[in-house]
Structure 1
Amino acid sequence: MRTQFVGRSLLATLISVAAALAVLPSSAQAYDENSTSALNVDAQGIAVKGHDVVAYFMDGAPTPGKPEFSVKHDGVTYQFATAAHRDAFKASPAKYAPQYGGFCAMGVALGRKLDGDPTAWKIVDNKLYLNVNKDVQKKWLEDVPGNLVKADGSWPQIKTKAPKDL
């Protein structure tokens, strides 16, 4: 009896998340549907839509960066609100860079590469995660540990695939 309930509960969750993903506007897709990059960037190669990734940790809020405080890491440009944030990133980029290359954590859990929204974020175990929007983030937050297990399992298989191929 319990197995049936768990199965139905899981199925209901998957259906509701799939429905949420199905009605996303096309802008929710990763920037370049043909890119096989593991990093989600805009047309200028800027990560997190120009938001300061250090600010999430230091200030607890999404903060737009400034071009004058930018640094390139792994071929991607990160922008920061202050020189101090830029320098903190330069000293330890892996500490601040978003997980799954800045793609939506829930999307990755479902085997998809969706755009990350800088305002739909969460720090878990000192790691930054983005989601495609706040509605999808609500679903992701219902089972963060389970969703991270799923995402960590699917990321190696999808990170170098084009979003249109998933």
Structure 2
Amino acid sequence: MKTFRNLFLFGILWFAAISVQAQTPPVDDNGLAIGGYDVVSYFSGEAQKGSKSYAVKHHGATYYFASKANQNAFKKSPNNYLPQFDGYCAWGIGAKEAKFPINPETYAVIDGKLYLFFNGPFNGEPFNTYEDWAQRTSVLKKAAHANWPKVQRSK
């Protein structure tokens, strides 16, 4: 029953994601990661769109950066900047054991790690998963890391 509920919720969220541009898969059909946002920029406190001029291919995905300095920082230590859970919504992994798309502008950097979140319409109402995450960070973060190996293997 839990699996059916998660699949149903995932289906609804996925439909909302493809109908609203603010939501994006962690890696789109063209291989672009995080909707073209610069993963290094999150660590300075501002999500910035990257540029094709500063692109890096990493594990089959293309990452864009806002500057040569950010591109170089990523090349030097990509694991320092990659989002947790392959870029899927951290709340979805922790609270629902499911992969949800993300809004690249809704994020948190916690203990030097990047977490991304779904933030868009759900059932016709605004739904920002970061709000629940912020209230229950330690519980959801622990659950997400425990759930990830199982969720990662799911389609």
Q: Distance in 2 between matches of 1:31 and 1:122?
A: 17
Query: How does the TM-score come out when normalised to structure 2?
Result: 0.80
Residue 158 (structure 1) aligned with residue 151 (structure 2): yes
Q: Distance in 2 between matches of 1:93 and 1:49?
A: 17
Corresponding residue number in structure 2 for 1:44? 30
Residue 26 (structure 1) aligned with residue 15 (structure 2): yes
Choose the corresponding residue for 2:139, options 138, 141, 146: 146
Structure 2 gaps of 5+ residues are: 1-5, 120-126
Q: Percent identity?
A: 36
Q: Distance in 1 between matches of 2:56 and 2:24?
A: 21
Alpha-carbon offset, residue 24 of structure 1: 4.1
Choose the corresponding residue for 1:88, options 69, 73, 85: 73
Structure 1 gaps of 5+ residues are: 1-17, 33-39
Corresponding residue number in structure 1 for 2:124? none
Deviations 1:57-103 (A, max 9, x none): 13x11100001101011111110011110000000100001000000
Alpha-carbon offset, residue 31 of structure 1: 6.2
Q: Rg larger in 1 or in 2? A: 1
Query: How does the TM-score come out when normalised to structure 1?
Result: 0.75
If each structure's strand is expressed as a fraction of its own residues, which one has the higher value? 2
State the Cα RMSD in Å: 2.1
Corresponding residue number in structure 1 for 2:123? none
Corresponding residue number in structure 2 for 1:79? 64
Count of residues in Structure 1 that have an aligned counterpart in Structure 2: 135
Q: Distance in 2 between matches of 1:26 and 1:140?
A: 22
Return closer, same or farther for 1:46/1:106 CA change in 2, 3 Å cut-off. same
